Structure 1
Amino acid sequence: FSLVPCSMDIARLAVNKAARAARFVAETTNLNEGTIGKLDASPVTVADFAVQALICHFITQAFPNDPIIAEEDADELRKNKDLRERVLQAVRVVEPSATGEQVCDWIDRGTERGYSDRFWTLDPIDGTKGFLRREQYAICLALVESGTPTVGAMACPNLTLNLESDSNDCPKGTLFWAHRGAGAWQMLLTEDDISDENQTYLKATRLQLKDNHNNTDELRFCESVEAAHSNHSLSNCIASALNISRPPIRLDSQAKYGVIARGDADIYLRLPHFCTSSSKAKENIYRENIWDHGAGYVLVLEAGGVVTDMEGHPLDFSLGAKLLNNKGVVASSGPILH
């Protein structure tokens, strides 16, 4: 196995380090303190800001000219000193010399919204509601080149290495990464130094799916916990049509892509809610943000799975911050099933 390019190394190191800040927030604070609401009613936490600041900083150090399309901006932090100090405290777990002004500047490196032939996309805390419930969330980073994600790295601090071992006795934390043409991998999320590639790959497991689904009774769906994020009723209809009887696995965040990539589940459906009363129903379908799918997309593909929209079209990351050409997302463990 040949060593993957530098972009992959930076992505893996960035999400691994940033996970320390997220865990610090989860372990040391009342998670509802310092949480604000956005216009779309989704919450933003201290951890969102801290993780975005750190990852944008790491990317800028390595690739100063690369644009970053990330979820947050620092407007609220510049106005709210108390919130800024909370974020700074979390950032300093990883970067002890950081200042409040630097943190705001690092966060705003992620406010690009236009398309470039090479750019990064970041969801600092994907599954913020899961984070607030102390359940599943993910730190998700992807490199997009010529409209296609080529590198993906994802830290899932509360996810065990397989769902069957998801108990209090098993260590929590999974680090996923993938590079187009170089495979998909997972290892235990750790605070140890993972800068030595050779040692890192010795500790990691390559994810390789088997597209063998003769018995639909054994198939499992994976979908969002929040019904607002996906059409659970439509998912249930599809499961019934396929004679799938096992209950769905419901997780917050792109951890669902990781669960598909390693074979814990077979199908991930993120289906839009249709507005049947509108004459412009097609135009009213929700379009996904690219940061909600970039890292998971390349992870499932490199594990041998398939990811398209609900009409079978490839996901198009060439239109800025939204998947404007796609309706919903369907990920599966292989082309036969898909």
Structure 2
Amino acid sequence: MNVNCLRIVPSQPQVKFISLFSRTHNYSLLKLSSSVVMSYDKEFAAAKKAASIAARLCQKVQKALLQSDVQSKLDRSPVTVADYGSQALVSFVLERELPSEPFSIVAEEDSKDLRKDGAQDTLQRITDLVNDTISIDGSYGSITLSTEDVLKAIDSGKSEGGSHGRHWVLDPIDGTKGFVRGDQYAIALALLDEGKVVLGVLSCPNLPLASISSDYQHSADKEVGCLFFAKIGAGTYMQPLNGSSPVKVQVTAIENSEEASFFDPLIRNLDFPKQKLGVKAPPVRIDSQAKYGALSRGDGAIYLRFPHKGYREKIWDHAAGCIVVTEAGGVVSDASGNPLDFSKGKYLDLDIGIIVTNQKLMPALLKAVKESLEEKASSL
């Protein structure tokens, strides 16, 4: 197991230092004390519950979206309704499940647009969706949220995060394009403690429970709906969203780069490292942080992300996925092999891009990426 989302947890003095993936590609991990593994149990249970309940709202909105064929008109309003509703639900559940803990969320949405004139109908729809979902879940009695309650729940996500204290990190719907198409998206929730990711949950309502392949989109008979969850030192598990028993997952053990399939995000400079590695396996095309979940169970071997120049990665796009992969034995780094740093607020300061794979492939992949970037730079 490699834990490059966490080095040390200062709030737990009994934690031993963890040596991370470095530029020399050494991997080592000192044994974590059992008290650390058990120290986030309440938060872990709350996170799984929040992400699962939010998934129900998103599924309902997506179903209506597809029935009305709105996606062909590029009308984004139903997606916005699902984003807001998911964020409100996650905030509500976490506060209810953890009432004695300081509460801070770094999240993608805020209520500014919902407070404008003309947004009353949209706000009421979100409120109705949230209340219906809470009622169906049945965990919180006959509680009914007002529109102001929903606005406040959404605005719980205004935290800036940082290196001190505990902060939840949320992307209420990661993968807007997939959501609109009726394809893949994820509710991504993680917890930072002193700037380090200590647990993460990925709720992937449309991801098949069985391993996916390059043609999985054409398989209509597969059962779908996965919940991936990982806690520092405890491994990564996958559970059907219907609540069946979880199973422990591991990244692929492939060592031969020719056999290593890429999660293809359709970026222009992806072919260069592919060619250098001699990759022959077909790509796996999938939206959102569901890629991290699929990679954690070995559906593919490599995920590269190189956004356009000037783009700043947000922590909610990678925090949950990072720990889900690393606790499954994988590695997540920037293009220089440095672990991702979630301690500096809403944004990740990266060297060019993000690389995700298993420990055996990482040295060759880093070399291929470095050479590809150097060649591309020299050709400009």
Query: TM-score range, shorter-chain basis?
Result: 0.7 to 0.9
Write the distance in 2 (CA, Å) between the matches of 1:310 and 1:19: 33
Which residue among 252, 260, 271 is the counterpart of 1:219? 260
Larger radius of gyration: 2
Matching of residues 20-31 of structure 1 within 5 Å? 20-29=56-65, 30=68
Q: Does 1:163 align with 2:207?
A: no
The one-character-per-residue Cα deviations of 1:114-135 (angstroms, maximum 9, x if unpaired) are: 4233111000000011101111
Which amino acid letter does the alignment assign opposite residue 82 of structure 1?
D
Offset, 1:111: 1.1
Alignment partner, residue 138 of structure 2? none
Aligned partners of 1:121 and 1:143 also within 8 Å: yes
The 8 Å contact of residues 175 and 184 in structure 2, kept in 1 or not, is answered as yes
Q: Which residue of 2 aligns with 1:132?
A: 180
1:323 corresponds in structure 2 to 348
The aligned residue for residue 129 of structure 2 is 90
Aligned equivalents of 1:27 and 1:157: distance in 2? 12
Asked if structure 2 preserves the Cα contact closer than 8 Å seen for 1:310 and 1:330, the reply is yes
In structure 1, the partner of 2:246 is 204
Q: Report the count of equivalent residues.
A: 305
Tell me how far apart the structure 2 counterparts of residues 114 and 160 of structure 1 sit (CA, whole Å): 33
| Residues 114 and 179 (structure 1), Cα distance of their counterparts in 2 relative to 1, 3 Å cut | closer
The higher relative CO (CA closer than 8 Å, separation ≥ 6) is in: 2
Checking the alignment, whether the CA contact within 8 Å between 1:34 and 1:45 is kept in structure 2 is no
Note the 1:1-338 alignment, pairs <5 A. 5-29=41-65, 30=68, 32=71, 35-36=76-77, 45-61=80-96, 62-63=98-99, 64-79=101-116, 80-96=119-135, 97-115=144-162, 116-161=164-209, 162-164=211-213, 167-190=219-242, 203-213=245-255, 215-224=256-265, 227=266, 232-274=267-309, 284=310, 286-338=311-363
Structure 2 residue ranges without an equivalent (≥5): 1-33, 136-143, 364-380
- For residue 185 of structure 1, give the secondary structure of its aligned residue in structure 2: strand
Q: Which secondary structure state, in structure 2, belongs to the residue aligned with residue 249 of structure 1?
A: coil
Amino acid of the residue matched to residue 53 of structure 2?
K
- Whether the aligned pair in 1 keeps the contact of 2:81 and 2:126 (CA below 8 Å) is yes
How far, CA to CA, are the matches of 2:358 and 2:284 in structure 1?
Answer: 15
What code does the residue aligned with 1:236 have? D
CA pair 325-244 structure 1, distance change in 2 beyond 3 A: closer
String of CA shifts for 1:21-62, please: whole Å, max 9, x gaps. Answer: 0011111244559735xxxxxx95211000000001112221
- AA of the residue aligned to 2:241: L
Partner SS, residue 58 of structure 2: helix
* Percent of aligned pairs with the same amino acid: 39
Report if aligned partners of 2:325, 2:331 keep a CA contact under 8 Å in 1: yes
Q: For residue 294 of structure 2, give the secondary structure of its aligned residue in structure 1.
A: helix
Deviation at 1:65, TM superposition (A): 1.5
Matched to 2:52, the amino acid is N
Output one character per residue of 1:275-297: Cα deviation in whole Å (capped at 9) or x when no partner. Answer: xxxxxxxxx3x221000001000
Asked if the contact 1:34/1:46 (under 8 Å) is kept, the reply is no
Q: How far off is 1:212 after superposition? A: 3.6
Kindly state the Cα deviation for residue 326 of structure 1 after the two structures are TM-superposed: 4.5
Cα displacement (A) at 1:160: 0.4
Report which stretch shifted further, 321-330 or 125-134. 321-330
Q: Deviations over 1:246-280 (max 9, x none)?
A: 23212111001011100000001001334xxxxxx
Native 8 Å contact 1:69 1:112 kept in 2: yes
Structure 1 gaps, min length 5: 37-42, 193-199, 275-283
Amino acid at match of 1:310: A
1:278 match? none
Q: Distance in 1 between matches of 2:132 and 2:205?
A: 16
Once the two structures are overlaid, the 10-residue window that deviates more, 141-150 or 325-334, is 325-334
Q: By how many angstroms is 1:210 displaced?
A: 4.7
**Separation in 2 of the partners of 1:272 and 1:28?**
32
CA distance in 2, matches of 1:321, 1:205: 32
Alignment partner of 2:230: what SS? strand
C-alpha root-mean-square deviation of aligned residues, in Å?
2.2
| Change in CA separation of 1:210 and 1:245 when aligned onto 2, cut-off 3 Å | closer
The aligned amino acid for 1:324 is D
Q: CA deviation at 1:233?
A: 2.3
Could you say which residue in structure 2 is the equivalent of 1:196?
A: none
Residue 234 of structure 1, CA deviation = 1.5
The corresponding residue for 2:20 is none
How far, CA to CA, are the matches of 1:181 and 1:114 in structure 2?
A: 23
From the superposition, tell whether residues 209 and 246 of structure 1 become closer, same or farther in structure 2 (CA, over 3 Å).
Answer: closer
Paired position in structure 1 for 2:141: none
